Amino acid sequence: MDPYKVLGIPQSQVKHPSDLDKVRQRAKKLYKRYAGEQNKFQMKKVMEAFDMVKGNMKKIGEGAYKLLGRGRKERELDRHFNHQTKEIKKDRRVKKTLKQARRGEKRFHLPGDKERIPTFRRKRKRRRHMKIKKPNVDVLQGLQRLAAVLPQRTKFPKVVKLLYRWVKEYMNIDNREYIFRTLNDLTRLPFLAEDKEGRQDVICVFEYVLSYNTQWFDQDDKHRMLGRAWQMATVLWCQCFTDDAFTLSSTISKLTQAFALIEKHKPDVDAYLEEKQRRAAKHEAKLEAKLEAKEEKLEAKLEAKEEAVKENGKKMKLAEPVEPAAPNGHVDAKQEALSDGEDFFGGGCEDDDDDDDDDEMSEEEEGSDDEILSEEGKKKSKAKCIDLDSDAEVGGEISSEEEESVESVDVESSSEAEELESFVFPVPNAEESIMTLRKDFVQRCLFALFQNRGPLWARTKVDTFFQEVFYRRACLDKDQQTQVEAWQARIKVLQKESEHKVGEANNILESGRPVVDSREMRTNFDADSNSWASKQTFDSREKSGARHVIR
């Protein structure tokens, strides 16, 4: 038993008897701890370790501190020097003198020493600093904080550990929709499997959630496919980076089952995509028709507005009274002042006034054109239109119609979305989950396996799986099929260029190489009939070895 290892103190720190205080304090601390746990064996072990350290301090001349041996002459001198030392030490007078020397001699008192009155020491009261109590954080609030930090690449490995702790301690049936929402966002992170320790935490989180909510995931196909998609995007992807042969075999078998599931639901996915495209085309056609109808209405109203503006201008011209000139051709001074100050129809300059009227009318028309352009630019806005020609009623009608049309489009397009928004975590369709499963199968799992096919023990398993996927790639997307074909072509090139190992002699993927059959191997012994026996051949197809069948 190493006493220093038991006490947790390095031997290099215990060199002097004064260092025993540290050892004693450490031994007391460990003894109290084990006494609280009622571990008598460890208590006894601590005491033995302390006694051993204490004994080592008395043996200074041994071990690392061993002194050199004394010579013959030194031993003779020591014998003469230490002669009768025991008898001398037993003398009472010597004992008394040594005792007084230990206590010390009489002290001299300086003036003022005796007059000093001893006082008690003042106890200094230490201010107790109250620990600042941190505010209690709600369970969902804590999950929200974790979800906010999860997308950060550098902090992800540590936050996943906290998420796993939250899931084990606080997840229940009431708040599982919130954790489902967080986990669904977590599956989309591209750096999910970068860190080696983080991969294990991700596997623990999703396996615990999937096993804890087994009944929820087994309700119907929609929930079941969501669980399969999560498992593919996280657990199986992280397990593809394994360095264990057994784990790799089990992962490839699970991927094979998932690939069979993708093949099974391919018709449903194709029908769903066709229906989705048809709905999108129908929705776009509706929007275009509504926009065209809206533009036609706006053009008609704008034309009516222009006609109304022109009619108002003509009416204003006709409504102005024309004052007749005096019969004698003379005009009063007051009328002259009025005619000079007025803009329209002066007494002696009718031509100039007509030109001014034409200019002002052209300016009004230009202003109305600018207003039309500005209204066309603000079709999508919901604000009320303000016109300069006192046609606010028409603008109000246009804006109200725009709002009604936008609301109708939103209601029609979001009829299904209202049902999903009523839940915290809307479960996607089974077809959407299968499409996500197929995407993660190719882009994550197959890519990880292709990267990790380097070791010899993993190469044959990965190559066999890739060849099977290559033959059954029709259930994948076009881009995914192209990617699988490229991977398979690269694997074949690498197989031809690499050196053939002896352990791969009977590999089924290398059919071009001859298969070695041990039944065809014979050992020839030289004898009298060797020339005749060397000409004989045996049929290897016979079960019994065909010893008596000669071809």
**Domain contains 50:** yes
**Domain contains 498:** no
**Domain contains 8:** yes
From CA 36, how far away is CA 53, in angstroms rounded? 24
Q: What is the pTM of this model?
A: 0.49
Tell me the two tokens of residue 241: 């980076």
pLDDT at site 409: 41
**Domain contains 439:** no
Inter-residue contact 196 to 233 (CB < 8 Å): no
Q: Which amino acid is at 290?
A: K
From CA 233, how far away is CA 251, in angstroms rounded? 13
From CA 237, how far away is CA 513, in angstroms rounded? 34
- Give the range of the structural domain holding residue 48, as residue numbers without chain letter: 3-63
- DSSP letter at 112 equals T
**Domain contains 20:** yes
**Domain contains 54:** yes
Name residue, tokens 């009320």: 384
Longest Cα–Cα distance of the chain, Å, equals 173
pLDDT at site 84: 74
**Domain contains 39:** yes
- Closest Cα partner for 488 from 462, 526, 510? 462
Cα 23–chain centre separation? 48
For residue 343, CA distances in Å to 347, 353, 354, 357, 437 come to: 11, 7, 10, 9, 80
- Closest Cα partner for 8 from 36, 39, 45, 37? 45
- Closest Cα partner for 159 from 129, 137, 192? 192
φ and ψ at 36, to 5 degrees?
-65, -35
Inter-residue contact 307 to 369 (CB < 8 Å): no
**Residue 168 CB contacts under 8 Å (≥ 6 apart), including other chains:** 208
From CA 259, how far away is CA 127, in angstroms rounded? 69
For residue 516, CA distances in Å to 109, 425, 520 come to: 111, 60, 8
pLDDT at site 424: 82
**Domain contains 19:** yes
From CA 251, how far away is CA 256, in angstroms rounded? 9
pLDDT at site 418: 43
φ and ψ at 538, to 5 degrees?
-115, 145
For helices 176-186 and 156-170, give the axis angle rounded to 10 degrees: 160
Domain count, the chain: 1
Q: Which residue ranges in the chain fall short of pLDDT 50? A: 325-329, 331, 333-334, 336-356, 360-366, 368, 372-374, 376, 378-422, 539-551
pLDDT at site 10: 87
Tell me the two tokens of residue 295: 């533009």
Tell me the two tokens of residue 515: 């298969």
Name residue, tokens 């460990």: 30
Name residue, tokens 């051709």: 329
